[in-house]
Amino acid sequence: NFMLTQPHSVSESPGKTVTISCTRSSGNIASHYVQWYQHRPGSSPTAVIYENNQRPSGVPDRFSGSIDSPSNSASLTISGLKTEDEADYYCQSNDITSVVFGGGTKLTVL
Amino acid sequence: DVQLLESGGALVQPGGSLRLSCVASGSSFTTHALSWVRQAPGKGLEWVSSISLTTGNTYYAASVKGRFAVSRDNSENALTLQMHSLRAEDTALYHCAQSSSWDWTDALTIWGPGTMVTVS
C-alpha cells in the first residue's frame, strides 16, 4: 500500500490564492487519477476535482488541480479565496486493490 | 438526483456484529460502483470497502479485511456492510458513496450523510 501526505493546515486571506499539496509515498502519481474532496463540518464530503484536474459541474473555476511527476505529488489550488472555502480538503487516489485518502488539510480563510 | 441514506449504526460491544444499510433514491444506483468510507471522531476520511458494478468484485482496507463484507442488491437499490469482530477503532461515522461510473476507482460524487457506529 501507499500513503498520501498532506499538510495538516494552511491559512490565507480572502481574495488570495492557496495551494494544498498531496505527496504519494510509493508508486507513480501519474499511474492513477487523483481526486480532491471538500468537507465542511456537519456536511458530507463533495468532490471538487476529479481525474487530476477536472471540475464537477457546479464547482467554480477558482478550483484547479494538477499533478507533478518529478515530486510525485498532486496539488489543489484555490484562487480568489472566499470565507465559504474554509473546510477540510482531502486528496484521494488508488492502486489496483485499494483506495487511499490523504490525511486532510484544514483550510482557514481569515 | 440520486440521494443515499445509511442506517443501522448503533452502540455495540467489542467483538460484536453490526449490519449497515444504504438505500438510494433515483435510478443511477444500479449503474455505478459503490463504496463505504468512514470518519472516526476527530480524524480524517478512511476508505473501508468498495464493490464493483461490472464484476461484483469486492475490495477492502487492510484494517477491516476478513471482518467486514460488502454486498449490493440492485433490485432493492441497496448496499450493505456486514461488520463482525468489531473493535474500538471501528468507531466512526460510516458514509456510503457512489462512484461517478461503473469503475470502483472513480471519484465518489454522491455521498450519504452517514450512520454512526460506536464500539464500546
Q: What is the pLDDT along chain A (110 residues), one digit of tens a residue?
A: 899 999 999 999 999 999 999 999 999 999 999 999 999 989 999 999 999 999 999 999 999 999 999 999 999 999 999 999 999 999 999 999 999 999 999 999 99
- From the CA of B119, how many Å to the nearest CA of chain A? 22
- From the CA of B107, how many Å to the nearest CA of chain A? 6
Could A47 and B109 be called an inter-chain contact, meaning their C-beta atoms sit closer than 8 Å? yes
**Test mutation, A22, A43, A98, A106, chain B, max B CBs within 10 A:** A98
> How far apart are alpha carbons B45 and B30 in whole angstroms?
25
How long a stretch of residues is chain B? 120
Q: What is the pLDDT of residue A13?
A: 97
Residues of chain B with pLDDT under 50: none
Q: What is the pLDDT of residue A48?
A: 98
**Inter-CA distances, A24 with A8, A30, A68, B48, B113, Å:** 15, 10, 11, 19, 29
Could B114 and A44 be called an inter-chain contact, meaning their C-beta atoms sit closer than 8 Å? yes
